[in-house]
Chain A
Amino acid sequence: MRKHRIPSRVFTLLVYVFLYAPIILLIIFSFNATKSNRVWGGFSLDWYVELFHNTRLLGALRTTIILSVLAAFIATILGTAAAIGFYSMRRRSRSVCMSINNIPLTNADIITGVSMMLLFVFAIGVFNSSFISEALGVRWRTGFGTLLLAHITFNAPYVILSVMPRLRQLDPNVYEAAQDLGASGWYAFRKVILPEIMPGVLNGLIIAFTMSIDDFVISYFTKGSGVTTLAVEIYTMVKKPVTPEINALSTLMFICVFALLLTVNIRQARQETASLRRKAKLNPGQ
């Protein structure tokens, strides 16, 4: 094995260089004093200053954050409820539901985006020609509402996927045990089930939040004309000559997402060691 060590190290290094070189380059040039993306003109924070004076970009950032937080929270509540529902099904219906849940995860964003746009256009058409719209004097249009619905929809499967393993680890009798000791159904859920699956719920929340911040394709098709998200705004800016503000913004976004994903990974690693320790304790022979 020893003689393969050097080539394998070189290979690993190359993999990481190709993975991270673009991002590192982007971070470096976000501190560049000149406008060029090729020539280093000295260190400066000018582009960051400029970024925070760009009201269009800041507006898009605000929309994105509100959207991501709302979508992540609602998707987490719905997804957790759905996961508990799936969990209490019989084995066959459960696996059918989980397979259906997994389809959107592997589906191309472009298809999800286009199909949602079609659905919204159809639904809006039906609504606006209905008597409800007339009676209330309200016309529904694509905008923040449709954007939020779309984000909740593509986030929920990730939450379900992250809550399910925690439910499976649960002793099948804990809910009954709580009831047996005098807890009503809701009390037992709040005091026993929820705390037991909380790590999975929080992971789901974080994943949903980062997916939302990150999303371009689905947002692009469902946002309508009035609102814009950060990713979409950057895309429109890039169509004109590139300004290094985008480097600055991208650097900030990268750091945020990176920090969040790091938290998720560390949490998962901790849970795994904890559950391994628990298993080792229960079956000391193995």
Chain B
Amino acid sequence: MSKELIRLSDCFMKFDDDVILDHINLYINDKEFLTLLGPSGCGKTTTLRIIGGFQKPTSGDVYFDGVRINDVPPHKRKVNTVFQKYALFTHMNIFENVAFGLRVNKVPDPKNPGKFIKVPESEIKQRVEEALALVNLAGYGKRSVNSLSGGQQQRVAIARAIVNRPQVLLLDEPLGALDLKLRKDMQIELKKIQQQVGITFIYVTHDQEEALTMSDTIVVMNEGKIQQIGTPEDIYNEPKNAFVADFIGESNIIDGIMHEDYVVGMYGRKFKCLDKGFAPGEAVDVVIRPEDIDIVPEAEGQLTGTVTEVTFKGIHYDIIVDFRGFKWLIQTTDYSPVGAKIGVKIDPDGFHIMKKSQYSGTFGDYSSYSSEYDELNEDRLEEDRDDEE
């Protein structure tokens, strides 16, 4: 699990005058499920394409198993890719699509050391059928690409990519075109496939939930820079800056002051927290997740505010509460009507303190709650590649 397989060392990338990757340093372990997560245009797809060999960094080095591979063309790399729009060969049937990688490559001849031969037809047949069975498409070999649904085409693309037994599988938003239900099923299935074949998966997505569900490690990117690397739990519970806190899940981010270890001040009050190591009196960003806030009667609250908006979400209500001009999002199962004065209570482990960063003050205020949702949706429709090219 801990052996290093791929390393990007100080990778810098520029198209015309746009900086796409700003000195990225990243290493990826063998058999790891690593996700590159970020909004469109953050450089995640470019990072993937550099590993796949489709783009060369302007400066910096790429290592595979300790060997520099900057100048190795894609067809000589031990990585395979699942593309966003499947990129299946429509003039071939499913079997031939999956067999393509086996037919192209020559293998050492067991009888004649030093010589290379084509993979024997019997082996091709066996391995294609294995790959199709792995993605639950056994018996589909004779069908044409166009007769399959989007989800099935996606599975063929995965089978085609793993039939060569690569050491690393690169996946470029492979579930982007599927509907929500299918996407959730495929997330679990992909994770299962990864564990079954026991290889490294490098997965690109802008969907934070997808990243949290599947990954061993998440790399959060924005504006060509890596914002944070960590396990899903780390990223969610201990975001490094306001961007990460806002991008992963919902966050209220409030200006605060660290009075001393374990004591944070905001709204002129002191709160107990579990964070330490800041200078006394240091200005900080305080993150409070909407689900960590309890609504209590006004008199018992640590803070009091007015409900300005209530949205029913099924499992819970999204409530927007105005605390002296700064609006918070609270997720609760208790209904409070618009206009109600309420009190809130936050346990010490509900606070997460972050150092100030360039993103301070730009995220985490829910004053324009509904319009923010619209922006998010628009973001998802955009295509990453178009932005980066």
Contacts and interface: CB of A to CB of B under 8 A. Distances in A.
Contact of B164 (A181, A281, A284): A181
Contacts of B302: none
Interface string B88-114: 111110000000110011000000000
A77 interface: no
Given A181-B160, A195-B91, A173 B84 contact: yes
Contacts of B177: 282
A173 B88 CA distance: 9
A178 interface: yes
B85 interface: yes
Nearest to B163: A181
A196 B87 CA distance: 12
Interface string A170-194: 0111101111111110010001100
Nearest to A282: B150
Nearest to B79: A180
B87 A176 contact: yes
A124 to B, nearest CB: 45
A176 B81 contact: yes
Contacts of A177: 81, 83, 87-89, 160
B52 interface: yes
B52 A180 contact: yes
Contacts of A176: 52, 54, 74, 81, 83, 87
A196 B91 contact: yes
Nearest to B92: A195
Interface in A198-248: 198
A192 B75 CA distance: 14
Contact of A183 (B75, B79, B86, B150): B75
B83 A173 contact: yes
Contacts of A171: 83, 85-88
A180 B74 contact: yes
B73 interface: yes
A163 to B, nearest CB: 15
Contacts of B164: 181-182
Most chain A Cβ neighbours within 10 Å, of B86, B90, B92, B161 = B90
A181 B81 CA distance: 8
Instruction: Rank and list the top 5 A-B pairs by shortest CB-CB distance, nearest first.
Output: A181-B101, A173-B87, A177-B87, A173-B83, A182-B104
Interface of A: 171-174, 176-184, 187, 191-192, 195-196, 198, 274, 277-278, 281-282, 284
22 contacts: A171-B87, A173-B87, A176-B52, A176-B54, A176-B81, A177-B160, A179-B73, A180-B75, A180-B81, A181-B80, A181-B100, A181-B160, A181-B164, A182-B75, A182-B104, A182-B105, A192-B89, A195-B91, A281-B148, A281-B150, A282-B177, A284-B149
Interface of B: 52, 54, 73-75, 79-81, 83-92, 100-101, 104-105, 146-150, 160-161, 164, 177
